[in-house]
Chain A
Amino acid sequence: MSASLQKGLNALREVMDAPIASFFSSCVHCGMCADACLFFTETHDPKYTPIHKLEPLRRLWKRDYTLFGRLGKLLGLSKPLSDEELAQWSPLVYDSCTLCGRCSLACPVGNDITYMVRKMREGMSVAGHAPEGMISATKRTIEIGSPMGVKLPALQAQIRAQEKETGLTIPIDVQGADYMAVLSSMEIINFPEYLGALAKIFHKAGVSWTLSSEAFEATNSGIQIGASDIAREIVLRIVTAAEKLRVKHVISPECGHAFTALRWEGPNLIGRPYHFSVVHILELLDELRSAGKLKTVGKEDKPLTFHDPCQLVRRGGVVQQPRTLLGDVATDFREMSDPGILNWCCGGGGGVSANERADELRLTAFKRKKTQLDELGVHTMVTACANCRIMLEDGLEHYNMNVSVVGLTELIANHLEE
């Protein structure tokens, strides 16, 4: 057995816990998870059935963690996991799963399949079976500081541009501010207007906030690739910076996986609770709105809809806030089919967007979103995740669809009371 395979198997043994054992014990092979997964519904290929993506993990559990499996192993009735098998599963675990969590809501016996895929990636990455694109993104995060290779000067340039645009100061490294905002590099490169929107909203609402020059990148490719040690390092950068500046809250940006990484996985990765709280920008906007500090004027009259980012809504619990906020600035907000916690993924979450190997499959899976949009006939889609936004724009362009995508925070900023 190769050393990397041995390490991979050890990593898989490391993640084996009571929930996983209860999930594998309960699966009745009913196939409903397939009907909940966009990679199956848009391809009709049974190999994309979510529970099947975990077959190597299930075999390891059966062989090593059940009495019958162990007996079978002693008698030579079952084959050990091989490197080839893991390599064969790499596209299933990485390309055809965005960790969107829809199957975990569909499973009649209650299996959190998404949780298991996340855990299985721990073993896959150590065994050397993560896709090239995700490995590079993770390397860039460690070496340069961001998965897209964004460095501080790039951020500083965008800060200057947005300061000029808004006529406001964007604070950086302010000790004792209430809030520290972090960004995704997609926002720094593709959607810098998010930063300007924050400046405008916080100025109006009188929120004391800052950026940090030491930790401005919120995305965490360590979690997507399944490398807890790297994920821990990335989270620690933010934690260290926030605790150094002694802020009370850290604002997770419009990026779903960044929120999952910081809000739900972070404390578990570093082994302790934070000395600050993590709040998603939409949660904060909703709070400011309730406190009467966020007043908007004028409404969009064109019909618009909302794409629910999986990690923010289904796996993050920020369900009502975007709808309340949209209600303030739109007269004709229309829900697409399966809105809220049952909405369909953009196809590029969970690291799929960084994985070029998956591009074709991702665009095929996008047909699910296309169907939802075609049914609705609305030409403006609001969302609250920069990654979703890029993936949606890519899919819309690929299928020549006349739909524009808007970030919710920017939309709110455009309607601020002067």
Chain B
Amino acid sequence: MDAMQLLLWARGPALGIAFAIFLFGMLLRLFEIYSLGRNKDLAPPRSHSPGSGWRTVVMRSFSAKSMLKASMLTYVTGYTFHIGFFVVLLFLLPHIELIRSITGLHWPALPTPFIDLIAVASIIALIVALISRVMNPVKRFLSGFGDYLAWAVTLLPLLTGYLAYHHLLLDYTRMLAMHILSVELLLVVIPFTKLTHMATLFIARWYNGDWFARKGVAS
């Protein structure tokens, strides 16, 4: 398969397959969660606080100062990577074009050199996160194959995107194909690893916020 054929396959059938697996997998995971249900809380809440679950969904991204201090490195790498990843995903012109070609939706792009900088910051954050995972006794203790797999498939799209943009390592067409394939690999892996948290963390935070608020505590 030459580079162009690979690219066409990656952009065509492979993308469809990857999306299908991703969607099926995520729906399965959501079904696994919600099908278990939960008991109604019969204890009267301290006060009615509608929307408290949603509040925690948002506010849990902003931690208390002392929590922040206690886990500084994890927060800094976490914020940098997550924000960087989504900025690159959503504000690079070719990405917007792709989304436009599929959905018709579009928005202004950010300058490419800026995105380039953000991509590098995200890659560095991921590398620091990996070093921390290996060096920090708690993280090393908790980590297994799944953690390192999740790390690798998250890094690949950023790395191949960067290499393609700068015409490094492989010719542009082949590297672009690699980039798209790496995204597809990520999509396929998400539902079956801890990367599922991209969806389920909203559910977890919601329950957390709902419970704490019933007791009169904003979590």
Contact = CB atoms under 8 A, between A and B. Distances in A.
Given A22-B204, A106-B71, A115-B211, 9 more contacts: A17-B37, A17-B39, A18-B207, A21-B32, A106-B67, A112-B211, A271-B42, A317-B217, A318-B216
B205 A109 contact: yes
A35 B216 CA distance: 25
A265 B41 CA distance: 9
Contact of A106 (B57, B63, B212): B63
5 contacts: A17-B39, A25-B203, A106-B67, A107-B60, A110-B205
A338 B203 contact: no
A51 interface: yes
A36 B44 contact: no
A335 to B, nearest CB: 12
Interface string A88-120: 000000000000000011111111100100000
Q: Which 10 A-B pairs have the closest CB atoms?
A: A317-B216, A110-B205, A46-B141, A267-B42, A31-B138, A35-B70, A109-B201, A110-B208, A22-B203, A25-B200
Given A21-B33, A315-B215, A27 B194 contact: yes
A22 B138 contact: no
Interface in B23-57: 28-29, 32-39, 41-44, 46, 56-57
Contacts of B66: 337-338, 342
A29 B28 CA distance: 22
B209 interface: yes
Nearest to A264: B43
B197 A18 contact: no
A154 B215 CA distance: 34
A49 B74 CA distance: 15
Interface of B: 28-29, 32-39, 41-44, 46, 56-57, 60-61, 63-64, 66-67, 70-71, 74, 78, 136-143, 147, 192, 194, 196-197, 200-201, 203-209, 211-212, 215-217, 219
B204 A46 contact: no
A68 interface: yes
Nearest to B213: A317
A265 B208 CA distance: 16
Nearest to B29: A25
Contacts of B41: 268
Contacts of A416: none
Given A106-B67, A110-B206, A273 B56 contact: no
Given A51-B142, A314-B217, A112 B207 contact: yes
A342 B64 contact: yes
A49 B141 contact: yes
Contacts of B201: 26, 108-110
Contacts of B35: 18
Contacts of B29: 25, 66
Contacts of A104: 208, 212, 219
A143 to B, nearest CB: 28
B33 A31 contact: no
Contacts of A111: 204, 208
Contacts of B204: 19, 22-23, 25-26, 109-112
Contacts of B42: 267-268, 271-273
A316 interface: yes
A190 interface: no
Contact of A16 (B36, B43, B197): B36
Contacts of A266: 43
B40 to A, nearest CB: 9
A29 B70 contact: no
Contacts of B209: 110
Contacts of B143: 29
A32 interface: yes
A40 B141 CA distance: 13
B117 to A, nearest CB: 25
A106 B201 CA distance: 14
Contacts of B71: 30-32, 35, 106
A75 interface: no
A110 B207 contact: yes
B67 to A, nearest CB: 5
B197 A36 contact: no
A274 B54 CA distance: 29
Contacts of B44: 267, 273, 277
Nearest to B208: A110
Interface in A6-34: 16-23, 25-32, 34
A252 to B, nearest CB: 13
A32 B67 contact: yes
Contacts of A109: 60, 197, 200-201, 204-205
B197 A342 contact: no
A362 interface: no
A263 interface: yes
A206 to B, nearest CB: 26
A319 interface: yes
A277 B43 CA distance: 10
A118 to B, nearest CB: 12
A23 to B, nearest CB: 5
Given A110-B56, A112-B207, A65 B43 contact: no
A74 interface: no
Interface in A52-111: 52, 65-68, 104-111
Nearest to B31: A67
A16 B38 CA distance: 9
Contact of A46 (B37, B39, B70, B138): B138
Nearest to A104: B208
A65 B33 CA distance: 9
A18 B60 CA distance: 20
A28 B197 contact: yes
Q: Which of A46, A65, A110, A111 counts the most chain B CB atoms within 10 A?
A: A110
Q: Which of B29, B57, B205, B208 counts the most chain A CB atoms within 10 A?
A: B208
